[in-house]
Structure 1
Amino acid sequence: MRRIWQIGTMITAFFLFVYMFPFSLTQPTKETIIFFPLDPTVRFTKATTNLKLQPPKQNGKYPLLWMVSSTLDRQVYLRQDISLLFADGRLVGTLSEWKQNSQTLLQKKDVRTKDSHFFQAISFHYGEIHKGSTIGSSQKMSGDQLYVIDSPYSPLTSFRRPRTSEEKEWQSVLTKTTNESLQYTAETLFNHFSIQEKNYYHLYLPELIVYNEQPFPDLSFEKTQEIIGKLWEGLYRNYFLGIKREDGSVISPIGSTVPLILLSKDYSHLIVLTETKNGEKIQLVQTIS
């Protein structure tokens, strides 16, 4: 009899739990970026990425404020922004935020580091739009770059464009160091994967921002935006959330080189190349339909 009473009490407790917490056993909606046909009636009224040095130094490190914000002209089913921060051509951080039935997103993060660096950030702003049984999307990119000079021979400072001779010298040194490192990595990746460089347009991920407003060579603006949207979908799944290796395992993208995008001149496919923190060479191939 006592056993029956215990079972009855457990059943009652279970239904009371379900009643009090009706959604506790359901799967939450997961963040995701999926390219759907772009809806020309929906647009971003704001899409910004900003890097700002925040003196003073603490424990030998300076804080870099990284802000990403965006606003659509209306509330949509799903909003998501992702952002990547590179220092001297290597990934040092990521940001991501998503909300359902939202219009505006705002993200802030303090990155604490030391020494002089050339920082580049690029963000992808995304909206999934539901109109009855039709699903569309809206997208835009934004970015920023900042040179931070942290030297025992000069005060802590930052600039986007050099104004003094000293800043021009620092820009030259940091840019040259970054470019030479990336060029060497690119050449080793081309050789490793037997890629004929002449068959591709190539650009590094932060340079993709210029195609917010202009098409790829000999291509329509609409097709350009479709390629960009599908590229970001692939980058999100296979780079941002973790680099997928040939054996199926996933490793962190932090420390990897800025993705090099190779767009075939016949627009049949694109390739994304990067080298991990440990020197592993990664190739991601995406067919263009």
Structure 2
Amino acid sequence: MLDKINTAKKRILEMRPEDVVNLDAYPIADRDDPRRAALVARLKQELDQNQYVSLPDFIRPEARLRAVADAEGALPRAHHNCSERNCYLQRKGDPSLSESHPINMFLSASMRMLAYDRFNEDSPVKTLYHWAPVREFIAEIVGSETLYDNADPSQPVNLVCYKTGDRSAWHFDSVNAFTMTLMLQASESGGDFEMVPNTRSDDDQNYDYVAAVLRGERPDDTVSVAREAGALCVFRGCNSLHRVSPVEGDTMRIMGVFVYETAPGVVGDPEVNATIYGREEAVG
């Protein structure tokens, strides 16, 4: 009898994809809908031009509140990732280079990381992540023929929580051609998402310019991307420095990070997972 009650409760808690994604504003489920084609074309153009695109109210309010509750409930299982790294996500510099070289410029970062398997299976962010229309929609925006779910136990979608004083330092995303995030709860103040589009290129690391940005000498080149609660953001962080400014106030900033792959079966590096998600600590 107890099993039947628990099953019934689980069905009530589960949210269908259409209960999660705001299909009224983003008709992504019907590939024959001309509004979808127009939406994809507009967002693709904006991403190519600005290196980022923001989609307000992508998630429905009820689903967002459920996701926030999931994060808050799972917070004791989060890994407090507090580190000093350079903008290339490295912990060690290069003694053959000057102290002013960006490889030798280290910045502080602090956040709470909830890996994929550390919060509820029926969380709305997981429903969103695994829904094929979302994956196909994002693939068209970023210009990828096909995207696949990440197969790692930690990485597919994770929740990043920032308390007062937490921040993400200036950095490049090392591998992924694009990054997809969903703002679930904004902080009272601070916690701004900032980026410097096209800080470097595939052909030029542009070290002098990168160093100037890290020293705070190019404020006019910094773009503050609107990230109100419920907004989905897709950006190209591989060649554009970006950060989250220090969070202020009692309200925790909660963000979902979604990782799709261009090939099936991709899993993460165990060393990276230990560093970012605290896997050794969590397992031990």
Question: What TM-score do you get using the length of structure 1 for normalisation?
Answer: 0.27
TM-score for the superposition, normalised by structure 2: 0.27
Structure ranking higher in strand proportion: 1
Higher relative CO (CA 8 A, sep ≥ 6), structure 1 or 2?
A: 2
Which entry has the higher C-alpha Rg, 1 or 2?
1
